[in-house]
């Protein structure tokens, strides 16, 4: 998807990697559950990525916040609240259109209606990330506006991540787990950019460091140490820097251009991957043409990555482009009559 804003290649590579890993996680775990706990060869990859997969996505989401956080509330809310809530509501409706018939068999149609209304308070399915972003954006702006010391915010954010907060409400639980990474991305963006620049200047040492990190990450995951309180925060940050370094190295080549494209259009994948993931899984399991859980997971992952891209490229110059581009009338501010891109 073309953008009028200059892009940072290593950021797109890093986001692209995380997006593929997110689709792989949902695809693999969904297939394994549907196959009564059968474990495929992608499961170790899913486990390997667990310490850094979502932390890096939130850290990157906070990187460019300093560019807009001091703008007036109208402009800020338009870019950082209305923008994402538009896509949340739109794709919530699409999600229920696909899933309501099957859910009605279990919950009944009144139960489906109740779940739909509840989804405006507690986000539905994989859309929780899109719902949570505006909450984070507003929280950080309020903290800055009321001049809350960043040191205090950092300490509280770290404590929220370390504490075992499990209320059963998605927004509360995910906010507690993810806020500190988002805030660190905002607060220490210059440091993160220096990590990327250092990686690009020192390629060989960076490759060695990434190999050492990969071995250490696998060891911590296999021994069950990675998710421990405190360790998950510290090691999550280390993993974030590893993904940043990986993205920086990839930006020096053209080999990973498709990965950069996925990062540039990450929201397209995040919004639509469930359709193609679920469809591919249903077809493969129903036909029995492929029986290996790892191969099925790989095919479903590919469908979840490629399908949204094809869908986006198909609709981008049609009246259905509103699926991935926010209409100008969905705004707090007066704008030219055009469609705002899904950033």
pLDDT in tens, 162-173: 998 999 999 999
List all residues 6 or more positions away from 256 whose beta carbon is below 8 Å from its beta carbon.
13, 16, 250
Q: Examine residue 95 and state whether it is found in any structural domain, yes or no.
A: yes
At 254, the pLDDT band (50, 70, 90 cuts) reads confident
> Tokens in use for 330?
């969905």
Measure the CA angle with vertex 65, ends 190 and 81; round to 5°: 165
| pLDDT for the residue 3 | 40
Domain for residue 2, yes or no? no
- Asked if residues 150 and 75 have their Cβ atoms less than 8 Å apart, the reply is no
Burial of residue 240 (CB within 10 Å: 0-12, 13-18, 19+) is buried
The tokens for 277 are: 């993931």
Check: CB of residue 92 under 8 Å from CB of residue 130.
no
> Tens of pLDDT along 274-327?
999 999 999 999 999 999 999 999 999 999 999 999 999 999 999 999 999 999
Number of domains in the chain: 1
- pLDDT in the model for residue 56: 96
pTM: 0.93
pLDDT for 49-71, tens place per residue?
999 999 999 999 999 999 999 99
In a domain, 210, yes or no: yes
327 located within any domain = yes
Is 243 within the bounds of a domain?
yes
Going by pLDDT thresholds of 50, 70 and 90, the confidence category of residue 334 is: low
Residue 3 domain-assigned? no
Residue 153 in any domain: the answer is yes
Check: CB of residue 270 under 8 Å from CB of residue 231: no
Classify residue 1: in a domain, yes or no.
no
pLDDT at 7: 82
Number of separate helices (H) and strands (E) present in the chain: 14, 2
Instruction: Count CB-CB contacts under 10 A for residue 247.
Output: 29
Q: Give residues with Cβ within 8 angstroms of 51, minimum separation 6.
A: 217, 220, 221, 226, 227, 232, 235, 236, 239
* Domain boundaries, position 248: 9-341
């Amino acid at each position: 998807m073309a953008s009028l804003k200059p892009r940072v290649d290593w950021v797109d590579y890093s986001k692209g990697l995380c997006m593929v890993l997110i689709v792989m996680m949902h695809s693999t775990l969904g297939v394994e559950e549907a196959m009564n706990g059968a474990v495929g060869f992608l499961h170790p990859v899913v486990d390997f990525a667990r310490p850094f997969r979502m932390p890096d996505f939130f850290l990157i989401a906070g990187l460019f916040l300093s560019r807009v956080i001091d703008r007036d509330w109208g402009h800020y809310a338009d870019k950082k609240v209305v923008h994402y809530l538009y896509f949340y509501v739109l794709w919530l409706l699409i999600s229920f259109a696909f899933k309501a018939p099957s859910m009605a068999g279990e919950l009944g149609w009144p139960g489906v209606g109740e779940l739909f209304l509840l989804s405006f308070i507690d986000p539905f399915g994989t859309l929780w990330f899109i719902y949570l972003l505006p909450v984070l954006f507003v929280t950080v702006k309020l903290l800055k506006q009321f001049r809350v010391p960043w040191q205090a915010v950092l300490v509280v954010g770290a404590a929220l991540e370390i504490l075992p907060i499990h209320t059963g409400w998605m927004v509360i639980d995910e906010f507690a787990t993810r806020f500190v990474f988002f805030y660190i991305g905002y607060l220490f963006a210059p440091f993160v950019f220096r990590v990327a620049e250092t990686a690009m200047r020192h390629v060989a040492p960076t490759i060695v460091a990434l190999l050492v990190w990969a071995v250490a990450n696998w060891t911590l995951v296999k021994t069950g140490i990675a998710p421990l309180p405190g360790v998950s925060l510290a090691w999550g940050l280390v993993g974030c820097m590893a993904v940043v370094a990986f993205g920086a190295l990839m930006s020096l080549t053209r080999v990973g251009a498709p990965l950069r494209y996925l990062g540039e259009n990450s929201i397209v994948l995040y919004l639509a991957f469930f359709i193609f993931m679920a469809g591919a899984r249903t077809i493969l399991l129903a036909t029995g043409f492929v029986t290996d859980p790892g191969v099925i997971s790989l095919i479903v992952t590919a469908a979840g990555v490629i399908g949204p891209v094809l869908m986006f490229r198909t609709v981008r110059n049609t009246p259905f482009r509103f699926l991935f581009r926010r209409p100008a009338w969905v705004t707090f501010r007066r704008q030219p009559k055009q469609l705002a891109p899904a950033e």
